[in-house]
Amino acid sequence: MKIFNYKKSIIAIIVVSILSVSAGCRKDFLNREAQGSYNQNNYPYPQGAGPYDQFINGAYSVLRSFNVTVWPFIGIVSIRSDDADKGSTPADSGDQIQMDNLGVTASNGLVDAFWTGHYDLINKCNFVLERVAKDPNPNTPDNLKIAAQAEARFLRGYAYFMLVRSYGRVPLVDTVITKSAAEANIPQSQPAAIYQFIENDLTFAATNLPASYDPKFVGRATSGAANGLLAKVYLYEKKWAQAMDAANKVMTSGQYDLSTPYAQIFNESGENSKESVFEVQATATASNPTAYGSQYSNVQGVRGTGQWDLGWGFNVPSTALEAAFEPNDPRKARTILYAGGTSIYGEAIPAGLPNPRYNNKVYTDPARRAQIGNRFGWWNNVRLLRYADVVLMYAEAANELGGTANKTNALAALNSVRARARGGNNAILPDVTTTDQTALRDAIRHERRVELGMEHERFFDIVRWGIAADVLQAQGKTFIVGKNELLPIPQNQIDLSKGVLTQNPGY
Amino acid sequence: MKRKVLLVLLCLFSINYVFAQSIKVTGKVIDANSNETLIGVSITVKGSTAATQTDLNGSYAINVPSNGVLVFTYLGYVAQEIRVNGQNVINAQLASSNQQLNQVVVIGYGSQRKRDLTGSISSVKGEDIAKSPNTNPISSLQGKVAGLTIVNNGTPGAAPTVRIRGVNSTNSANPIYVVDGVIQTNIDYLNSSDIQSVEVLKDPSSTAIFGIQGGNGVIVITTKRAEKGSTRISFQSSAGVQKVPNQIDVVDAAGFKKLYSAQLTNLNAAPFDFTNYTANTNWQDLIFKTASMTNNNLSISNSGDKSTTLVNVGYSNQDGVLRNSKFEKYTFRLNEEIKFNDNIKVGGDLNGFHYISNPADVTLNNALWAAPIVGVRQDANTYYSMPSFQRAQVGNPIAALNRNDKTSINKGYRVVGNIFAEIKFLKKFTFRSSFYTDLSFNESRGYSPLPFSFINLGEGTIPTTTTIDNSIKTSVNQSEANYRKFQQDQTLTYETTINKDHKLTALAGFTTLYTADQSINGNRRDTTLNIPNNPDFWYLNIANTANPGNYGGGGSESAQESYFSRVNYSFKNRYLLNASIRRDGISKFAPENRWGTFGSVGLGWVISEEQFFKDHVKGLDFLKLRGSWGTLGNAQGFGENLYLPGLNVTDVGVFGNNVYPSVSPAYVSDPNLHWEVIRGLDVGMEFQAFKSRLNGDVTYYNRTTKDILTRVPLPAVSSYLLTNLGTISNKGIEISLGWRDKIGDFTYSFTPNFSYNKNNVESIGDNFNFQISGNGGANRTNSGQSIGYFYGYKQTGVYQSTADLDKMPAFNSSLPGDIAYADINGDGKITDADRTYLGSPFPDYNYGLNLSLGYKNFDVVLEGQGVAGNYVYTQRRTSNFATLNYETNRLNAWTAPGTNNIEPILDNTRSNNYLMSSYYLEPGDYFRLRTVQLGYTFTKQLIQKVGLQSVRVYLSGQNLKTWSKTTGYTPEAPLDNVIGAGADNGIYPIPSIYTFGLNLTF
């Protein structure tokens, strides 16, 4: 027992314990920063130019997302219209079937996803505005602040414009919710108030955004994009003079023209061309075939197997759209891809596909597919606003305004679009010559339909023109006037608000 | 009576004889209850190495100092110490520990006699856990403890979901485990055969000593120590087979063709051309197999005067009933304690653990959804693809299974150890210092092979083609994760008895806990070479760095520091007082909200010790009333540093082909975020009667959680607010009974238990009343209902005709053949306002029935367990994204007026029929025959000749029969997601297991 000294060992143990206890009591023992992640206090915001870019980029990221410009989007803006059928296999996606049949219910998942997606975008824009307002750096130049505000307000205006056209009355949220849930529970505003809000945002954006960017920022919102969108907003409000004026600003900006051949606009090489007023930017690399991309082309891609499995095959051109093209209009072939036909890259499309027609404007370059190692076209930009759209808006507003001078301008604008479509072949698509307001109106509406086929305008256009019931009932669909112009307010959102949000008529 | 006289005499002797001299003592040892002789009882002399055992007649002889103390120990009995005091004959009566209220239970930082408890603590002996062939010991607790809900998972190696007394929180409701002192959330490293006891601490007063960790209950696990005075080698081995007890009833090829044709007719679509689809494949037969499993354990223990040693090694191997899945587990433990003298003890444990797992390569839903009209394959590289109506959504299940077979290597290593020193000083004080470490390391490597060729059978005018996806290239992936934990406990215990009547134990302590983890992963795809299907090549560097790949990594860190104290006091064994207090600081919260104080108080009254009771009440041997109250916290399932508004940095802005970082708020955070607060009352009665044949425990509890950490989804913002909001209560009753008796050679015991829990969300939200949706809106949590209840429409029937639609409430879009729903708000039509409470996924009632029988050398165990009052959501039936195979209930679908009033029309575009409703709920009540075991213990005389101490062989069946109305593989729907529980989305089957086992002791 002598090898062991009782007292010494007690002392040793107690000393070790006290040492460890005091180690535990180190004042900073409980101060543990989050590992490997930033919070709002320690993010190393880069100094210098564009101190708000990180936040704005977040808004662009949402713009690219599934809920904003992909899956609910094609259903709401296109499948509902007479130009597109649901596609895919007959029973695939009950939610999209509802869109096609105009039997949308308040619990339809697309209706909720579209709503939350756009409010996500609005929230990101409000965050940018808040960061500008509460910038901790007093030396940030005012011009940078104004540019950031203009960009955020452009995107917010876009989001509210989609919401007001889709749902009618929606809540106007213009601040970042910081305190309580009650603060976020805002009742709906009337469409007139929402349109006024959008006009304010887009006017501010049009005034303060640059006309163009350095190529490394191509695709950011420009004053041309803001004026183009504003022109469209005015058209929906039937403010013809303002619409004409806004469209004219785009046409005289010197940034855009109709020089891009129609067939090239939708190619990978046609991205951000002179035709492009605003498009959702997407790209892909072999390492990240989807992370930087948009699924827009994937959900509409050819639904084959093996190498012909290019996507889900939704939103396919209808026979009505097929029939709408004038004889030999080359735009038809660029709009509709036929099973058993030949692709624009010369590939033979297999005959045995679930659908006879697919949206040819999302067809991707096989070389690009091989390079990325992915067939699903996540790199394809979404053309949200094309120059031809602006020119036709100008034509429409001018014709509606009436008067010889305006009608002459309208005709010139209309024919400039037809001339480009002609592609030098004078045997087709003759110039429109009528100056009768009604005949010209029909010609412009027809031109919008075929020029912008499968391009997100048709459903809203026919509702705006008041012809939706006629057009869709002619297709054998049940369009109830006073109901089907709008989507239902998502039941989820009504539930979340405990009834502060109210349902649209008829639902 | 004789025994008391003897004791009195012993006391008298002890005063007289104080000088030591060695004498020979002989005697007999018998069972105190049955008076049977006990063979092989070990008798040691306290403080020396001298030891012996009782012989076949229960007799012993030993040389011992005349003032020494003899210690009698025997497995399953309470050890007894008897002072020699110069006697030459000492007969001992040992009491079975089963029937002992004097048994000691582990209560966290100490132990206490069960009879002195004032809270609710249930004990389960290790041998009862080792009986079931589960790789996770907690699985074996199912049905054994009142108030404990266990949902087992048939996936090899998977941990069960554990709920103690209902669901406390909308976040994590998992309890913590305290294994030999170290706080754990994952106990996969334990070997079932190596557990001495498990204590389930159920009420707030029992768990308050664990403060912020104890909110959801605590399960204390004590591993085995070497038994005193013997060298023992024991070996347990079992081998068995597992089978899927029942398949989900889906239609065969003929049924499918009939139903799909009917569906197309209903859709006004052209008929499908089945000409080339001549197969009739039962995909479930093909993905399941009869699987083997083995459990082996070797334990060697030695105990001497100065040191005790225990070495345990275990190996178990479970193949999954789903082909390719597998789990292998190796465990090792070394326990060593060295006593320097009566006052100083040091020791430690070292646990090693290693697993190898193969996950499942195909989902169960894939086999349920695949059309039965397709064959499997033409040759090893050419499979049939599914028909066009599901080709894009549903893959060939066997192609998936075979393509992914043996393409991942998942291994884990874990070392859990502790060292401690314990010093007794000034006779009544014990200082104990313990340090714990838990290090684990998981790694995986994998490979994505080239695809198979697929034959697309011709349909109509479309010819048969064979396609292969040439765009897919081989890729490899690697990942590694490590977890680190360091804990220390410093405790000082003061234990004293004053005037024999006052027993006091006081404890003060300090503890710190630090946990951290780190992970890294990557994958790389070779765009030019085909990496071979050989594990030697499955490293990222096999593909050169020019190839595309993705890489990620992360980590976290958390710390906690606590001070605690507890007092246990009893007066005359009659009046009991227990109280505890704990102060916790935790790094997860903002510095100003970091510290909290928790505590408890409990009172008990042992009425049977009162003279009036002894005088007037016959038959009742023991009666105790107890009541306790406690308050504690819960931060389980909270992320780190949530109080700082998080940033979402994973999204990027894209301009042209340039990618730019983005920053946006991940959520809106309440700066005052703090833990959830749990308070609760526990009132109970314990009794023993009929000479301890009957024992029982009846408890009522009422527990409330407030300040629940809640994500409030913000309407029109698409973000959520993180705040403390809402109150949930759980009230319930638990009854545990035991009856044990012996009639001649026949012994039996029956130990049923029963519990009832009522959960209620008292409030969520103050000025803004909202609900939490789970599982896509199928579950809902709001004020006045139980947590996470099923929310939807109530089916009243099926609209048989347009006349029905005219007279019954309906949706605007309802058609004949659609499900008719109840008009809850009575407005004459069906709208979203008619959704209502449909039932709870959590059972109200849990019960277990355990029966054991013994006759001579034979023993039989029957264990059953069940739940009642809950519902299971058959979510696997709600998918309508493509045409999927039909379950047989669809054979009865409505076709014309009067045909069926439950099953709606075959038309997967009728979305009204896919709304959440009672149509998709099944009563979750079940009773399962959990264990049937027949054992035989060989007679000692027979085996001692070959040097064995005991030999037991047994046959055992697990999960042989389940009585249930559910249609899935098992009625045990997962409950781990509190707000979205109870969905059957293809639950891995709980296999029936047939095992043969052998236990040897040398």
What tens digit of pLDDT does each residue of A178-217 get?
666 667 788 999 999 999 999 999 999 999 999 999 888 9
String of b and e for B458-479 (b: at least 16 CB within 10 Å)? ebeebeebebbbebebbbbbbb
Instruction: Summarize pLDDT for A262-276 with one digit per residue, the tens.
Output: 999 999 999 999 999
Chain B residue numbers touching A282 (CB-CB < 8 A): 654
Q: How high does pLDDT run on average in chain B?
A: 89
Mean pLDDT for B556-574 is 93
Chain A residue numbers touching B344 (CB-CB < 8 A): 6, 9-10
Q: What is the 3-state secondary structure (H, E, C) of A126-147?
A: HHHHHHHHCCCCCCCCHHHHHH
For residue B464, the chain A residue with the least C-alpha distance is: A352
CATH number of A52-209+473-507: 1.25.40.390
**Contact yes or no for B881 and A272 at CB 8 A:** no
A105 touches A485 (CB < 8 A): no
Distance CA B873, CA B62 (A): 67
For residue A294, the chain B residue with the least C-alpha distance is: B654
**Contact yes or no for B467 and A307 at CB 8 A:** yes
B840 touches B730 (CB < 8 A): no
**Contact yes or no for B385 and A305 at CB 8 A:** yes
Distance CA B568, CA B582 (A): 15
Name the band, by pLDDT with cuts 50, 70 and 90, for residue B943: confident
**Contact yes or no for B664 and A91 at CB 8 A:** no
Chain A residue numbers touching B661 (CB-CB < 8 A): 54, 57
**Contact yes or no for B471 and A496 at CB 8 A:** no
Name the band, by pLDDT with cuts 50, 70 and 90, for residue B103: confident
Whole-angstrom CA distances from B94 to B38, B86, B99, B734, B855 are 9, 21, 11, 31, 21
B238 Cα to chain A: minimum distance (Å):
44
Which three-class secondary structure state does DSSP give residue A276?
Answer: strand
Can you tell me which residue has the tokens 């390079």?
A371
pLDDT at B11: 39
CATH number, domain with residue B13: 2.60.40.1120
A15 Cα to chain B: minimum distance (Å):
11
| Residue in B343, B385, B719 nearest the CB of A123 | B719
**Contact yes or no for B765 and A177 at CB 8 A:** no
Q: Which of A9, A28, A30 has the highest number of chain B CBs within 10 A, making it the mutation to test binding with B?
A: A30
**Contact yes or no for B658 and A25 at CB 8 A:** no
Identify the domain boundary among B781, B810, B834: B834
Mean pLDDT for B886-900 is 93
Residue B78's contacts (CB-CB under 8 Å, 6 or more residues apart) are B94, B95, B96, B97, B100, B102, B103
Identify the domain boundary among B809, B834, B859: B834
**Contact yes or no for A54 and B662 at CB 8 A:** yes
> What distance lies between CA A425 and its chain's CA centroid?
34
B596 touches B563 (CB < 8 A): no
**Contact yes or no for A90 and B713 at CB 8 A:** no
pLDDT at B12: 38
Q: What is the 3-state secondary structure (H, E, C) of A52-117?
A: CHHHHHHHHHHHCCHHHHCHHHHHHHHHCCCCEEEECCCCCCHHHHHHHHCCCCCCCHHHHHHHHH
Strand-pair partners of B706: B677, B727
Chain B residue numbers touching A3 (CB-CB < 8 A): none
pLDDT of B886 over the 50 cut: yes
Name the band, by pLDDT with cuts 50, 70 and 90, for residue A482: very high
| Residue in A116, A286, A292 nearest the CB of B652 | A292
pLDDT at B154: 86
Query: pTM, whole model, 2 decimals?
Result: 0.82
B266 Cα to chain A: minimum distance (Å):
11
pLDDT at A238: 96
pLDDT at B75: 65
Lowest mean pLDDT across A5-9, B161-165, B874-878 = A5-9
Instruction: Summarize pLDDT for A210-251 with one digit per residue, the tens.
Output: 999 988 899 999 999 999 999 999 999 999 999 999 999 999
Chain B residue numbers touching A351 (CB-CB < 8 A): 462
pLDDT at A246: 97
pLDDT at B711: 79
**Contact yes or no for A283 and B656 at CB 8 A:** yes
Question: Higher-confidence residue: A178 or B578?
Answer: B578
Please check whether residue B322 lies inside any domain of the structure: no
| Residue in B525, B649, B660 nearest the CB of A373 | B525
pLDDT of B9 over the 50 cut: no
Name the band, by pLDDT with cuts 50, 70 and 90, for residue A357: very high
For residue A4, the chain B residue with the least C-alpha distance is: B340
Distance CA B167, CA B678 (A): 12
Where do you find CATH 1.25.40.390 in chain A? 52-209+473-507
Mean pLDDT for B893-901 is 93
Q: Which of A211, A176, A185, A362 lies closest to A280 in space, CA to CA? A: A362
Mean pLDDT for B570-578 is 93
Name the band, by pLDDT with cuts 50, 70 and 90, for residue B15: very low
Q: Residue B442: what are its φ and ψ, rounded to 5°?
A: -115, 140
Chain A residue numbers touching B456 (CB-CB < 8 A): 305, 352
Number of domains in chain B: 2
pLDDT at B96: 66
Highest mean pLDDT among B48-52, B479-483, B641-645, B648-652: B479-483
pLDDT at B499: 87
Instruction: Summarize pLDDT for A66-79 with one digit per residue, the tens.
Output: 999 999 999 999 99
- Say what percent of chain B tops pLDDT 70: 96
Identify the domain boundary among B95, B124, B148: B95
Please check whether residue B811 lies inside any domain of the structure: yes
B653 Cα to chain A: minimum distance (Å):
4
pLDDT at B719: 67
Mean pLDDT for A91-109 is 86
Crossing angle (nearest 10°) for helices A437-451 and A387-401: 170
Q: How many CB pairs under 8 A join A and B?
A: 314
pLDDT of A1 over the 70 cut: no
B738 Cα to chain A: minimum distance (Å):
45
| Residue in B343, B769, B880 nearest the CB of A94 | B880
pLDDT at B309: 94
Question: Higher-confidence residue: B225 or B76?
Answer: B225
Instruction: Summarize pLDDT for B342-360 with one digit per residue, the tens.
Output: 899 999 999 999 999 998 8
Mean pLDDT for A479-500 is 89
B890 touches B906 (CB < 8 A): yes
pLDDT at A141: 85
Structural domain for B29, as ranges: 2-95
B712 touches B770 (CB < 8 A): yes
Q: Which amino acid is at B26?
A: T
